Amino acid sequence: MTTSVLDQSVVVFSKNYLPLSRINIKRAISLLVIGKAEPMLLEDTAEDTAGWQVRSPNAIFYVPNHIRLTVASTERLWKIPAVSRREILRRDHHTCQYCGSTKRLTIDHILPRSKGGKHTWDNVVIACERCNQHKGDRTPHEAGMTLRTKPKAPIHPTIAFAEQFWQAHTD
Ligand SMILES: [Zn+2]
């Protein structure tokens, strides 16, 4: 076994063909060995039919790029997280949504609370101290500022992964 092979990762699909996540090749092997997953071939490209050979003292094991669970995945229930500083920072990648700064970060209510703005996912963004002060008690429009993104609630990590995966595979 070379370390490079064991550093590889495999995309695991749910029983219903939803790409779930990337897992370590060792974990993929154990799922295949115990029969909880099977190789899955995507159509066409050579890249998708590729895999790795993993040699153990008495066997050569073929591990494909993509495997599919043969059992229903026991995913934990996921709820949209409550609006908190930690979760907003995570959603906005620790970046001011007005200027891109990553320093002195605060929470900005897009429609200021004094004007009835709510503490909800679509009304809060990370803003650096400077942008927040400049904006003051105004809406971004009134302050002549532009948001880099339209804030919304975080999405399920699995759905996010699936979207990313199919985006990368639809060229
Ligand atoms: Zn800023």
Give residue limits of the domains in the chain. Answer: 3-75, 85-143
Beta strands in the chain (DSSP E): 9-13, 19-24, 37-39, 51-56, 59-64, 66-69, 105-109, 124-128
How far does the centroid of ligand 1 lie from the alpha carbon of residue 139, in Å?
15
The architecture of the domain spanning 85-143 is: Orthogonal Bundle (1.10)
Looking at residue 74, its pLDDT comes to 58
How far does the centroid of ligand 1 lie from the alpha carbon of residue 156, in Å?
27
User: Which stretch of 3-7, 30-34, 43-47 has the lowest confidence by average pLDDT?
Assistant: 43-47
Rounded CA separation 101/117 (Å): 24
How far does the centroid of ligand 1 lie from the alpha carbon of residue 105, in Å?
8
How far does the centroid of ligand 1 lie from the alpha carbon of residue 134, in Å?
9
Q: What is the mean pLDDT of the chain?
A: 85
How far does the centroid of ligand 1 lie from the alpha carbon of residue 149, in Å?
13
How far does the centroid of ligand 1 lie from the alpha carbon of residue 99, in Å?
4
Looking at residue 20, its pLDDT comes to 84
Region 95-105: mean pLDDT is 97
Name the residue with higher pLDDT: 22 or 1: 22
Q: What are phi and psi of 120, to 5 degrees?
A: -125, 165
Name the residue with higher pLDDT: 97 or 65: 97
How far does the centroid of ligand 1 lie from the alpha carbon of residue 127, in Å?
5
How far does the centroid of ligand 1 lie from the alpha carbon of residue 8, in Å?
38
**Residue 1's pLDDT band (boundaries 50, 70, 90)?**
very low
